[in-house]
Each structure stands twice: as C-alpha cells, then as structure tokens.
C-alpha cells in the first residue's frame, strides 16, 4: 500500500458517484449523527437541566456515567439482535443502530447539562432571585448562559462519540463512512479501508473544530473571558474560568460594572480552554467517550 494508491483512490471519479460515493457516504454519516444528537438532546437537556436546577435525582447522572463502561460494540450487537428482527422493513438495520447511538450520546449530554447548571454560583442564583426574577427567568437568563460552556463540551464529546460509533455501526449494516472500512475489510481492499479511515478522521476533526468555534462565540463574553477585551463589560461580571474561581462572591449576573475586573486579565489567557478546563474539575463531561 502506497501513498500513490491512496491518492489514486481519492482522485478516481468512480469513488465520488452513486450510493457508494464519498459525498453520499459523508451525507449519510452526517444525517445519522444529526438525527442521533437531535433525539439525545431532546431527552438529555430537559432532564439534565431539571436535575441540575432542582438538585433532585442526581443518581440519574451518576448512573448514566457508570453506563459508559458498557462496551459500545457489545451494545450495538446486542440491540441489533434484539430489535432488528422485530422490524419488518428496510429500517431493520437503521433503527437499532440509531437507538444505540442515542443511548451513547445521552450520558455526555446529560452530565454536561447537569454539571453546567450545578456549577452556577449559588450567589448568582440568589442575586437573580433578589432582583425579582421568577424561577424560569433565573433558569433562562442566569443558569442557562452560565451552563453553556460545560453543556457545549458535553455536546462536543457526544458528537465525537456518535461519529466514531456510527463508523463501527457499519458492521451491523448501517451506511455512512464506516462502509468503506467494513467492506474494505471483507474484500481485503486495504486501500479503501485506509481512505475511509482518513475520511472518518477528517470528519471527526472538522466536526470538533466547528463545535469549538461555536463554543468560542456562543458563550457569553463575561463567562468565556473575552469580555476583558472590551473596555467596559455590559452583560456580565467576571472571570473566564468560573469553576476554578474559588471566590464565592463571583457573580455572573447583570450588574453593571464600571471597571473591568482586574482578574479578568488573568483569566483571558485561559479563554478558549476555560470551559473544558472547568469540566475537569466539576464532573466528567469533558472526559470524552471514545469508540
């Protein structure tokens, strides 16, 4: 196997057309990933937010994290064998695979959402209540923006997990880029396997990069530490690395600060790494799942 063979595969027009072509396989992979994340978000976000907001039923999060020890390959095979025969249509292979992918995406999303809400300073919550906010306002205006960094790092880890596992799911007949790896293996076409692997790795890197950008720009400047570039911070108060900030008085609510906090300067350096770093100390959504 040489570089030339890989190059030849990528430049062969035959590999860019039809069901088995690269564009279709990439699209399939993206559709599976998107669908899975959509279902998983619908389940995990309200649940995680509720657990974080009320502090009830924390065992749900602990349990979901413990469930990550189940080997994904085993789960995939077990569910396909149980659910597959029950479905009479062409979807017999797709539904079980998506179900497993959703199951795998829930724990990182759940613990990301939970850890995010849970890490909100009690002082910030109290201040919001003191300002007369209702329970829903406290959640939507204070807790949700503060939780965003940890939630997004949970989303990143779930996305990677789903992209990786969707590849493996080709062994239970799911489409997507995994087909190149599994079909190449079956027909001893090593070049095709390598090309498929390169595509999967690229897709994962690009998806992670896009989410990193989202994380960078969606998070409120006051929380990510970008605020310190602005002379006067309008929206929020403080330092970038919230959870590593031991100061209990640190508030993230509205109060207009005439002078930028001096510590913000120190926190800027950790700007983009802030959210992820914070996770390491709070929970484990950043402990990315792998398959």
Of residues 215-274, those binding other proteins (CB under 8 A): 269, 272-273
Any contact of residue 95 with other proteins (CB under 8 A)?
no
CA angle at residue 70 from 64 to 75, to 5 degrees? 105
Check residue 22 for interaction with other proteins (CB under 8 A).
Answer: no
User: Looking at 8, 31, 38, 82, which residue binds other proteins (CB under 8 A)?
Assistant: 82
How many residues lie near other proteins (CB under 8 A)? 48
Q: Is 30 in the site for other proteins (CB under 8 A)?
A: no
Considering only 20, 185, 257, 261, the residue that binds other proteins (CB under 8 A) is 185
Residue from 44, 75, 117, 127 in contact with other proteins (CB under 8 A): 75
Dist CA 54 CA 89 (whole Å): 43
Q: How far apart are CA 178 and CA 203, in angstroms?
A: 12
Q: H-helix or E-strand containing 206?
A: helix 190-218
Asked whether 170 and 176 are in contact (CB, 8 A), the reply is yes
277 makes contact with other proteins (CB under 8 A): yes
Place of tokens 């998806």: 207
State yes or no: residue 172 binds other proteins (CB under 8 A): yes
Cα–Cα distances (Å) from 139 to 40, 146, 153, 157, 203, in that order, read 21, 10, 19, 24, 34
Q: What is the C-alpha to C-alpha distance for residues 93 and 267, in angstroms, rounded to an integer?
A: 49
How far is C-alpha 41 from the chain's CA centre? 10
Task: Return the residue of 37, 64, 204, 223 that touches other proteins, per CB under 8 A.
Answer: 204
Q: Which residues contact 65 (CB under 8 A, 6 or more apart)?
A: 107, 111, 284
Tell me whether residue 120 or residue 204 sits nearer to other proteins (CB atom): 204
For residues 107 and 279, give the distance between their C-alpha atoms in angstroms, rounded to a whole number.
14
Residue with tokens 């990933």: 33
Question: Which of 108, 175, 178, 283 is close enough to bind other proteins by CB under 8 A?
Answer: 178
**Residue 150 binds to other proteins (criterion: CB under 8 A):** no
Q: Would you count residue 181 as binding other proteins (CB under 8 A)?
A: yes
Q: Which of 163, 174, 219, 223 binds other proteins (CB under 8 A)?
A: 163
Interacting positions 42-71 with other proteins (CB under 8 A): 68-71
194 φ, ψ (degrees, to nearest 5): -65, -40
Applying CB under 8 A, among 24, 137, 197, 220 the residue interacting with other proteins is 197
Q: Which residues bind other proteins (CB under 8 A)?
A: 1, 68-75, 77-78, 80-82, 160, 163-164, 167-168, 171-172, 178, 181-182, 185, 190, 193-194, 196-198, 200-201, 204-205, 208, 269, 272-273, 277, 280-281, 284, 287-291
């Amino acid at each position: 196997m040489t570089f030339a063979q890989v190059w030849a595969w990528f430049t062969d027009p035959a590999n860019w057309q039809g069901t088995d072509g690269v564009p279709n396989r990439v699209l399939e992979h993206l559709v599976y990933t998107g669908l899975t994340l959509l279902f998983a978000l619908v389940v995990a976000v309200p649940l995680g937010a509720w657990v974080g907001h009320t502090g009830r039923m924390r065992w749900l999060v602990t349990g979901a994290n413990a469930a990550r020890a189940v080997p994904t390959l085993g789960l995939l095979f077990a569910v396909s064998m149980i659910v597959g025969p029950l479905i009479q249509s062409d979807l017999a292979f797709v539904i079980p695979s998506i179900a497993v992918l959703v199951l795998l995406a829930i724990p990182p999303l759940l613990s990301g959402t939970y850890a995010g809400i849970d890490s909100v300073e009690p002082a910030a919550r109290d201040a919001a209540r003191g300002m007369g906010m209702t329970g829903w306002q406290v959640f939507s205006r204070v807790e949700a923006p503060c939780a965003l960094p940890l939630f997004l790092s949970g989303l990143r880890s779930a996305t990677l997990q789903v992209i990786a596992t969707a590849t493996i799911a080709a062994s239970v007949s799911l489409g997507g880029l995994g087909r190149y790896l599994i079909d190449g293996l079956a027909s001893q076409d090593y070049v095709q396997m390598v090309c498929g692997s390169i595509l999967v790795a690229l897709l994962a890197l690009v998806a992670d990069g896009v989410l990193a950008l989202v994380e960078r720009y969606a998070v409120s400047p006051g929380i990510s530490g970008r605020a310190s570039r602005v002379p006067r911070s309008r929206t929020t108060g403080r330092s970038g690395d919230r959870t590593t900030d031991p100061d209990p008085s640190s508030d993230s609510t509205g109060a207009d600060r005439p002078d930028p906090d001096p510590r913000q300067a120190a926190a800027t350096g950790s700007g983009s790494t802030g959210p992820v770093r914070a996770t390491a100390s709070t929970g484990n959504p950043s402990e990315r799942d792998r398959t």
